[in-house]
Structure 1
């Protein structure tokens, strides 16, 4: 096993922790939000950043070992492109099915 530069190790660990934090926030959001419209935010925002952080950590680790992680870069780009599109399609399907929202309506100010 190769030993890495301590600075690279710290960066990789930091990216893994950031990715794990966002993945945890996304998972908690999926459990706590009440309906599909609110739940769309958890996988498209927080979890996407979580997976992106883990993939960036993998790219840095690969680059430090002399291999450029083109696979990780492609996965990250694919994820960041497809997550908003899939969320938009799910929201349109929910609107088409006239699913109720539990978010409530904002109060009008007089």
Structure 2
């Protein structure tokens, strides 16, 4: 076993640990918003660890080449960019659908943002002039 193989296997093990944390978050969190946040972060880190670990592991064996590492890094970057965006879209859709927050939630920043936006729209709307028709 050479150093690249050991590093690759360690990264795969770390990625697997993050997958475990993701599954634990799905079980332990109280509402859909907390579950989505926990599982997205953990699954993203888990996937990155496993993919980059496999790429590095392949460099250390006769099985792969530098093309393996290049492909896994490109896929990891794609995942790093798209996973949080898709989770944000799902959470926003759940919020707009009316799925309630957990009763222990302290802050609702999205509601504050919507209310501030509505106040701005009301202030910008010109007052209707009363006239004779």
Question: Is the TM-score greater than 0.5?
Answer: yes
Q: Per the shorter chain, which TM-score range?
A: 0.7 to 0.9
Q: Please say if 1:18 is aligned against 2:14.
A: yes
Please give the secondary structure, in 1, of the residue aligned with 2:99.
coil
With a CA cutoff of 8 Å and minimum separation of 6, indicate the structure with the bigger relative contact order: 1
Instruction: Give the aligned length.
Output: 103
State the structure with more CA Rg: 2
Q: Which runs of 5+ in 2 are unaligned?
A: 108-133
Q: Which runs of 5+ in 1 are unaligned?
A: none
2:96 match: 96
Residue deviations 1:2-53 (CA, integer Å, cap 9, x gap): xx41x22321221111111101000110111121110112231011101110
- Aligned partner of 1:35 among 31, 36, 55: 31
Please give the secondary structure, in 2, of the residue aligned with 1:40.
helix
Distance 1:37 1:79 in 2: 20
1:46 match: 42
Distance 2:9 2:60 in 1: 13
Comparing 95-104 with 84-93, which one deviates more in the overlay? 95-104
Provide the TM-score with structure 2 as the length reference: 0.69
RMSD: 1.8
